[in-house]
A = this chain, B = another copy of it.
Amino acid sequence: MILTAQREDKFRRILDAAVEAFAEVGYHQCQVSKIARLAGVADGTIYLYFKNKEDILIRLFQERMGDFIRDIRNLLQGRETTRARLMTIIETHFRNMEENLSLAKVTQLELRQSDLKIRTAINAPLKEYFRLIEEVIRSGIERGELAPVDVRIARQLIFGALDEATTDWIMARTKRSLLSESEEMLYLFEGALGLAREPRPRAGRGANPQRTADVSGKMNAGEGARA
Protein backbone atom coordinates (compact mmCIF):
# COMPACT_ATOMS: atom_id res chain seq x y z
CA MET A 1 0.00 0.00 0.00
CA ILE A 2 1.64 3.09 -1.16
CA LEU A 3 0.19 6.35 -0.16
CA THR A 4 1.68 8.66 -2.69
CA ALA A 5 -0.28 11.58 -4.03
CA GLN A 6 -0.66 9.62 -7.23
CA ARG A 7 -2.27 6.74 -5.47
CA GLU A 8 -4.48 9.05 -3.52
CA ASP A 9 -5.58 10.61 -6.77
CA LYS A 10 -6.50 7.32 -8.39
CA PHE A 11 -8.45 6.29 -5.33
CA ARG A 12 -10.43 9.49 -5.56
CA ARG A 13 -11.00 9.17 -9.29
CA ILE A 14 -12.47 5.73 -8.80
CA LEU A 15 -14.71 6.99 -6.04
CA ASP A 16 -15.88 9.92 -8.14
CA ALA A 17 -16.52 7.61 -11.05
CA ALA A 18 -18.46 5.27 -8.81
CA VAL A 19 -20.75 8.04 -7.57
CA GLU A 20 -21.65 8.98 -11.10
CA ALA A 21 -22.02 5.40 -12.24
CA PHE A 22 -24.15 4.31 -9.31
CA ALA A 23 -26.31 7.39 -9.60
CA GLU A 24 -26.82 6.83 -13.29
CA VAL A 25 -27.70 3.16 -13.44
CA GLY A 26 -27.94 2.01 -9.86
CA TYR A 27 -25.60 -0.10 -7.82
CA HIS A 28 -26.82 -3.50 -8.95
CA GLN A 29 -27.03 -2.56 -12.59
CA CYS A 30 -23.64 -0.91 -12.53
CA GLN A 31 -20.77 -2.96 -13.87
CA VAL A 32 -17.34 -2.59 -12.35
CA SER A 33 -16.00 -2.06 -15.83
CA LYS A 34 -18.18 1.01 -16.17
CA ILE A 35 -16.61 2.55 -13.10
CA ALA A 36 -13.19 1.66 -14.44
CA ARG A 37 -13.97 3.30 -17.75
CA LEU A 38 -15.25 6.49 -16.13
CA ALA A 39 -12.23 6.57 -13.85
CA GLY A 40 -9.86 5.99 -16.72
CA VAL A 41 -8.27 2.91 -15.21
CA ALA A 42 -8.26 -0.76 -16.03
CA ASP A 43 -10.81 -3.07 -14.45
CA GLY A 44 -8.14 -4.83 -12.47
CA THR A 45 -6.84 -1.57 -11.05
CA ILE A 46 -10.07 -1.14 -9.12
CA TYR A 47 -9.10 -4.16 -7.08
CA LEU A 48 -5.81 -2.62 -6.05
CA TYR A 49 -7.76 0.06 -4.23
CA PHE A 50 -10.93 -1.71 -3.21
CA LYS A 51 -11.65 -5.17 -1.94
CA ASN A 52 -14.63 -5.61 -4.19
CA LYS A 53 -17.61 -3.81 -5.68
CA GLU A 54 -19.38 -3.70 -2.35
CA ASP A 55 -16.33 -2.13 -0.80
CA ILE A 56 -16.55 0.74 -3.26
CA LEU A 57 -20.05 1.55 -2.11
CA ILE A 58 -19.11 1.32 1.52
CA ARG A 59 -15.97 3.41 1.28
CA LEU A 60 -17.85 5.88 -0.85
CA PHE A 61 -20.44 6.38 1.81
CA GLN A 62 -17.94 6.47 4.64
CA GLU A 63 -15.83 9.02 2.84
CA ARG A 64 -18.63 11.37 1.87
CA MET A 65 -20.56 10.94 5.07
CA GLY A 66 -17.36 11.64 6.99
CA ASP A 67 -16.85 14.87 5.06
CA PHE A 68 -20.45 15.82 5.65
CA ILE A 69 -20.26 15.26 9.38
CA ARG A 70 -16.99 17.17 9.62
CA ASP A 71 -18.60 20.08 7.80
CA ILE A 72 -21.63 20.10 9.98
CA ARG A 73 -19.58 19.81 13.16
CA ASN A 74 -17.50 22.78 12.13
CA LEU A 75 -20.56 24.85 11.39
CA LEU A 76 -22.18 23.89 14.67
CA GLN A 77 -19.19 25.32 16.55
CA GLY A 78 -20.36 28.82 15.82
CA ARG A 79 -24.01 28.22 16.58
CA GLU A 80 -25.08 28.99 20.11
CA THR A 81 -28.84 28.60 20.14
CA THR A 82 -30.60 25.34 19.53
CA ARG A 83 -32.66 27.01 16.82
CA ALA A 84 -29.49 28.02 14.99
CA ARG A 85 -28.12 24.54 15.38
CA LEU A 86 -31.23 22.93 14.02
CA MET A 87 -31.20 25.30 11.07
CA THR A 88 -27.58 24.43 10.45
CA ILE A 89 -28.40 20.75 10.33
CA ILE A 90 -31.35 21.28 8.03
CA GLU A 91 -29.55 23.59 5.66
CA THR A 92 -26.35 21.61 5.55
CA HIS A 93 -28.26 18.40 4.93
CA PHE A 94 -30.30 19.93 2.15
CA ARG A 95 -27.46 21.89 0.60
CA ASN A 96 -25.19 18.89 0.60
CA MET A 97 -27.79 16.86 -1.25
CA GLU A 98 -28.64 19.64 -3.62
CA GLU A 99 -25.03 20.27 -4.53
CA ASN A 100 -24.29 16.61 -5.07
CA LEU A 101 -27.25 15.21 -6.89
CA SER A 102 -25.40 12.07 -7.86
CA LEU A 103 -24.26 11.46 -4.35
CA ALA A 104 -27.76 12.15 -3.10
CA LYS A 105 -29.17 9.58 -5.48
CA VAL A 106 -26.72 7.01 -4.24
CA THR A 107 -27.38 7.85 -0.63
CA GLN A 108 -31.12 7.97 -0.90
CA LEU A 109 -31.73 5.21 -3.34
CA GLU A 110 -28.80 2.95 -3.96
CA LEU A 111 -27.50 2.56 -0.47
CA ARG A 112 -30.85 1.20 0.60
CA GLN A 113 -30.45 -1.46 -2.02
CA SER A 114 -27.54 -2.98 -0.30
CA ASP A 115 -27.74 -6.16 1.65
CA LEU A 116 -27.10 -6.56 5.33
CA LYS A 117 -23.34 -6.56 4.99
CA ILE A 118 -23.28 -3.18 3.34
CA ARG A 119 -25.75 -1.66 5.72
CA THR A 120 -23.69 -2.87 8.63
CA ALA A 121 -20.62 -1.20 7.23
CA ILE A 122 -22.56 1.96 6.65
CA ASN A 123 -23.66 1.89 10.24
CA ALA A 124 -20.74 3.74 11.76
CA PRO A 125 -20.88 7.02 9.84
CA LEU A 126 -24.66 7.09 9.98
CA LYS A 127 -24.57 6.47 13.70
CA GLU A 128 -22.20 9.39 13.98
CA TYR A 129 -24.75 11.58 12.25
CA PHE A 130 -27.49 10.33 14.56
CA ARG A 131 -25.32 11.02 17.56
CA LEU A 132 -24.71 14.54 16.36
CA ILE A 133 -28.42 15.23 16.00
CA GLU A 134 -29.10 13.71 19.38
CA GLU A 135 -26.44 15.82 21.00
CA VAL A 136 -28.08 18.96 19.71
CA ILE A 137 -31.42 17.79 21.07
CA ARG A 138 -30.04 16.73 24.42
CA SER A 139 -28.13 19.92 25.02
CA GLY A 140 -31.21 21.86 24.00
CA ILE A 141 -33.19 20.05 26.65
CA GLU A 142 -30.51 20.54 29.23
CA ARG A 143 -30.35 24.23 28.50
CA GLY A 144 -34.08 24.45 28.85
CA GLU A 145 -34.60 25.48 25.24
CA LEU A 146 -36.42 22.32 24.33
CA ALA A 147 -39.18 20.36 25.98
CA PRO A 148 -37.97 17.13 27.60
CA VAL A 149 -38.71 14.98 24.57
CA ASP A 150 -37.49 11.47 24.00
CA VAL A 151 -34.16 12.11 22.37
CA ARG A 152 -34.12 9.00 20.23
CA ILE A 153 -37.60 9.51 18.91
CA ALA A 154 -37.00 13.18 18.30
CA ARG A 155 -33.92 12.27 16.33
CA GLN A 156 -35.94 9.77 14.32
CA LEU A 157 -38.37 12.55 13.53
CA ILE A 158 -35.69 14.99 12.48
CA PHE A 159 -33.62 12.60 10.43
CA GLY A 160 -36.71 10.92 9.02
CA ALA A 161 -38.20 14.21 7.92
CA LEU A 162 -34.99 15.45 6.30
CA ASP A 163 -34.48 12.10 4.65
CA GLU A 164 -37.98 11.89 3.35
CA ALA A 165 -37.91 15.44 2.06
CA THR A 166 -34.72 14.63 0.20
CA THR A 167 -36.10 11.44 -1.32
CA ASP A 168 -39.21 13.30 -2.33
CA TRP A 169 -37.14 15.97 -3.95
CA ILE A 170 -35.07 13.43 -5.89
CA MET A 171 -38.10 11.56 -7.04
CA ALA A 172 -39.95 14.69 -8.09
CA ARG A 173 -39.83 15.75 -11.69
CA THR A 174 -40.21 19.47 -10.99
CA LYS A 175 -36.94 20.67 -9.63
CA ARG A 176 -38.06 22.99 -6.94
CA SER A 177 -35.27 23.87 -4.54
CA LEU A 178 -34.80 21.62 -1.60
CA LEU A 179 -33.10 24.33 0.41
CA SER A 180 -36.17 26.51 0.15
CA GLU A 181 -37.97 24.07 2.39
CA SER A 182 -35.57 24.71 5.24
CA GLU A 183 -37.57 27.38 6.99
CA GLU A 184 -40.83 25.49 7.00
CA MET A 185 -39.00 22.41 8.17
CA LEU A 186 -37.42 24.37 10.99
CA TYR A 187 -40.83 25.73 11.90
CA LEU A 188 -42.17 22.19 12.25
CA PHE A 189 -39.16 21.05 14.26
CA GLU A 190 -39.55 23.99 16.61
CA GLY A 191 -43.08 22.98 17.37
CA ALA A 192 -42.27 19.32 17.72
CA LEU A 193 -39.45 19.99 20.13
CA GLY A 194 -41.25 22.63 22.12
CA LEU A 195 -38.88 25.38 21.10
CA ALA A 196 -40.41 28.82 21.53
CA ARG A 197 -41.39 29.57 17.97
CA GLU A 198 -40.11 32.57 16.16
CA PRO A 199 -42.67 34.44 14.17
CA ARG A 200 -43.04 32.76 10.79
CA PRO A 201 -40.29 34.04 8.53
CA ARG A 202 -42.34 33.96 5.40
CA ALA A 203 -44.62 36.93 5.40
CA GLY A 204 -48.23 36.14 4.78
CA ARG A 205 -47.91 32.53 5.68
CA GLY A 206 -50.14 32.71 8.67
CA ALA A 207 -52.32 35.12 6.83
CA ASN A 208 -52.61 33.02 3.75
CA PRO A 209 -53.24 29.44 4.61
CA GLN A 210 -54.83 29.11 1.22
CA ARG A 211 -51.48 29.09 -0.45
CA THR A 212 -50.56 26.04 1.50
CA ALA A 213 -53.86 24.49 0.76
CA ASP A 214 -53.39 25.19 -2.88
CA VAL A 215 -50.03 23.59 -2.98
CA SER A 216 -51.22 20.46 -1.34
CA GLY A 217 -54.30 20.71 -3.45
CA LYS A 218 -52.02 19.44 -6.18
CA MET A 219 -52.31 16.27 -4.26
CA ASN A 220 -48.67 15.64 -4.68
CA ALA A 221 -49.41 14.24 -8.06
CA GLY A 222 -46.21 13.15 -9.61
CA GLU A 223 -44.10 15.11 -7.30
CA GLY A 224 -44.29 14.30 -3.68
CA ALA A 225 -44.69 10.63 -4.28
CA ARG A 226 -41.64 8.56 -4.81
CA ALA A 227 -41.66 7.88 -8.47
Contact = CB atoms under 8 A, between A and B. Distances in A.
Count copies of this chain in the complex.
4
A81 to B, nearest CB: 18
Interface in A207-227: 208-209, 212-213, 215-216, 219-222, 224-227
Given A119-B171, A159-B164, A219-B131, A151 B213 contact: yes
Given A153-B185, A160-B163, A206-B148, A226 B126 contact: yes
Contacts of A162: 160
Contacts of A76: none
Given A127-B224, A185-B157, A225-B123, A151 B216 contact: yes
A221 B152 CA distance: 11
Given A148-B206, A150-B216, A188 B157 contact: yes
A79 interface: no
Given A149-B187, A152-B220, A164-B163, A112 B115 contact: no
Contact of A153 (B29, B165, B192, B226): B165
A134 interface: yes
A154 interface: yes
A34 interface: no
Given A28-B113, A156-B161, 4 more contacts: A138-B216, A153-B188, A160-B161, A188-B192
Nearest to A208: B148
A122 B226 contact: yes
A159 B136 CA distance: 22
B193 A188 contact: yes
Contact of A219 (B29, B134, B181): B134
B216 A123 contact: no
